[in-house]
């Protein structure tokens, strides 16, 4: 009888520990927490952390993303929020910049953009960034931000008027 009670108590403790582990993992890997870590890593341009937060298929895309952010020499990034959009979780990262470097040219071009990053489930409990799904959304938002920044810069507007239009 004592042995049965001991086994029962052990099973209950194991069950409680398993439930606690699932709850903790779920909290640590919530879309909000993953998005916050992503925004922080992007702000620091921390490639190692960013690779841990994307799907394995997207690890090679990190260097391209960092290459673009390196053109924004005075860049800051912070999480603007996580939203549900047509059944997808989208992390919006607000990126602000005040200078753009193109090769040897530095342009005082300030602006901001809310870059969308698609969050997907990986192995049931884990959320990861899917850069492949994010790229078309990012391109569109970046295009809008550049056009808006150009509109705010009279010198660039004059320069664009001198260029032949297609």
Sign of the CA dihedral running 52, 119, 101, 75: negative
Distances (CA, A) of 102 to 46, 77, 155: 22, 20, 17
Give pTM, 2 decimals: 0.76
pLDDT at 54 over 60: yes
Gap between the Cα atoms of 152 and 141, Å rounded: 17
Mind listing the domains of the chain with CATH numbers? 2-162 (3.10.450)
List the beta strands (DSSP E) in 40-110.
75-85, 88-97, 100-102, 105-107
Q: What is the 3-state secondary structure of 99-122?
A: CEEECCEEECCCEEEEEEEEEEEE
> Of the ranges 9-18, 29-38, 48-57, 134-143, which one carries the lowest mean pLDDT score?
9-18
Other C-beta atoms closer than 10 Å to the C-beta of 82 total: 20
For residue 128, what are the β-bridge partners?
Answer: 120
Residues 6+ positions from 48 with CB-CB distance below 8 Å:
none
List pLDDT tens digits, range 92-129: 999 998 877 777 877 777 778 899 999 999 877 789 99
| Higher per-residue confidence, 23 vs 42 | 42
Whole-number percent of the chain with pLDDT over 90:
42
Gap between the Cα atoms of 157 and 9, Å rounded: 75
Other C-beta atoms closer than 10 Å to the C-beta of 166 total: 3
Q: Categorize the per-residue pLDDT at 145 as very low, low, confident or very high, splitting at 50, 70 and 90.
A: confident
């Amino acid at each position: 009888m004592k042995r049965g009670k001991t086994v029962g108590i052990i099973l209950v403790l194991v069950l409680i520990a398993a439930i606690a582990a699932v709850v903790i993992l779920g909290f640590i890997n919530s879309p909000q927490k993953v998005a916050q870590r992503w925004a922080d890593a992007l702000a620091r341009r921390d490639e190692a952390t960013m690779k841990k937060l994307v799907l394995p298929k997207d690890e090679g895309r990190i260097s391209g993303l960092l290459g673009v952010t390196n053109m924004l020499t005075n860049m800051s990034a912070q999480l603007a929020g996580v939203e549900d959009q047509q059944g997808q979780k989208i992390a919006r990262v607000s990126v602000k910049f005040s200078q753009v470097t193109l090769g040897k040219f530095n342009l005082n071009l300030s602006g901001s953009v809310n870059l969308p990053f698609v969050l997907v489930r990986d192995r049931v409990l884990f959320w990861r960034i899917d850069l492949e799904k994010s790229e078309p959304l990012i391109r569109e938002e970046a295009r809008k931000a550049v056009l808006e920044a150009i509109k705010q810069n009279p010198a660039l507007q004059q320069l664009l008027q001198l260029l032949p239009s297609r």
